Structure 1
Amino acid sequence: MKKRILLSTLFTLHNSPVRVEEEMEKMMMWDTDNRSVVQEFILEGFPAVQHLGKILFLVHLLAYLASIMGNTLIITITWADQRLHTPMYFFLSTFSFVECCFITTVIPKLLAIFLSGRQAISFAACFTQAFVFLSLESTVFFLMGVLSLDRYLAICRPLRYSSIMSPRVCSLLVTACFTLGFLFMVVPVVHLSQLSFCGPNVIPHFFCDFGPLAKLSCSDTRSVEMLFFNIAFLILFATLLVTIIAYSHIVVTIVRLPSAKERQKAFSTCSSHLIVLSLMYGSCLFIYVKPKQTSRVDFNRQAALVNTVLTPVLNPVIYTLRNKQVHQALRGALCRGK
């Protein structure tokens, strides 16, 4: 369109060099002034299944409520029962709190999309959502690494476990997880927000994620995409490396235990953690750890549903159904209630 306007303008100037120069300057100024015209974005959601909007709204609403209730139950039981005042359950309750915040940044907007179709979100709100979402997701992975370290010390260094995992150390580890999560994500998100957004404003996603936002920028995003890729790879690789090393030692220690009952008891304390880790790392490696953030958008939306809906629903179920101490705490709470 701009080319047509420019050609039409040049044709009417009758080969006047002075007027050509003046009009070119006007066109350049007009283009520069309009490079940041995007004031809001449109979240597209899932247009292919929008005709099932009310059914999907109900399904995801129930999943959201189940996740909030399950994680809240874990937090409440952990703080109410003295038997669960241990480092592992302190980390689990913190993990549940982060999960509640994590899904609350995304699911309400997804429910609105299913109910009413496309949803508008302001420029500032979109980047705020992206920053909070990515920061909390990073925090979750750091907490998973801390949980792996906690299980390693409990099983492989039981005599030193209480002295190492003191309440002060646990609090410092949780604080470090939150701090690192926010510090790692502030630079790429702020950098991306300062680029030009002058064209399409429809985000082919159900929330403001980094890759779809980078695709809409009129600027060269290669440097910020590579920065984000390196940070995402560092977070996932570092926490996964800690987990692999910790569980390698745990497996060796469990195999050396003399009785089958002891081996089964030791493994049962780690199996829930391993299932949750598999779900989280699988979806996030698929979404984020690739240099080209703008590819496979449709597949990313489906993988993001696993990360933001399915996994938060399954986590409380996995941690409660496979944990005898939580069962005892729940029975005790029900008895006190009666």
Structure 2
Amino acid sequence: MARPKDAHLLHLQQTEPNPFSRPATPGHHAVQIGFCGLGAMGYPMARNMAKWRKEHVQGGLPVVVWNRTKVKGDALAKELGQDIISVAASLEEVVSECDIIFTNLSNDEVVLSVYQTFVKTLEDGKQAKGRIFVETSTIYPTVAAKLDVLLSSIPSTTFVSSPVFGPPATAEVAQLLIVMSGDYRSKKEVAHIMYPSVGRKVIDLGGNIEKASTFKLIGNSMILGSLELIAESFALGEKAGIGAPMTYSLMKELIPAPLFTAYGDKMLHDKFDGTKGFAIDGGIKDSQHIRRLTTELNSPMPSLDAAHQHLLTARALHQAQIQRGDAHFDVLDWSSLIAGARVASGLDAFDSSKHGKVVPEKEE
């Protein structure tokens, strides 16, 4: 029976965490999975996927991993064992050996470069077996379309756009929110690999390959807009003589959402270490993508404009600290955008201990 034209819209309100039925059992050979990109998100995703498959997939093969700096792959193989992780020396090796290849990379340019290498290798090798490529990074929607066109030149090859929501800490505990668009049969197979090994829920956006990347940018606009709201509220609380701690307490009463409380805690206690969160360069890249999307669709987001400027302010101030030799962090977390709101209010950018302290009044 054909699926209703807008059936994918029903998945947004799904009760089940995975909207896809289980795919058919693989045929004559076990599926070989590859994972390219072992950064702050890719490393825990690849690790959790490999561990889950070892424990739940009978006869499962080691996951083949690749990273630009091989030391990351070696570290993962040492952590899990060579019976679970196989380290590839090159992208060519991954694409030649694997049936399903996941990528999680830093930016659009790197993504395009990696996929061009995939296609060139497959064209040179003339290998006939089918492959599914799955891109999990945050990329601009038209880049997803370019990848789809690029891969369409290779017979029996399909592409799934599948960005994920969640910071590295969420990836560590396999609780990412997974979004998908692209070929239906491929999505079904990929969904049962990613859930529950790396994520808690899969959302299907249908066949238009650009929809998942667009949805990811919409979601990130919510997160970035929330960061800007928290930053401005905290700065106002400081200037009003009420203090950021009391403002944070009020926020938890009014908006007790995990996102608000987690990022509010980072801003309140100056926890701006980007190696333990989402690095500011990634935040600026995402905000650029969101602002480009709003421009192309004539859908203004003033809060995102402010957040973008505050991200740039925070990065500029941090770079000045590095040049002076007094930076506290090698990399900033994107929650450090509060530096922009603080400086605009006449407060210290990164050290809240320098702000005037509120002394509670004592009863007579």
TM-score by length of 2: 0.24
Higher relative contact order (CA 8 A, sep 6+): 1
Normalized per residue, the structure richer in strand is 2
Structure having the higher Rg: 1
Normalized per residue, the structure richer in helix is 1
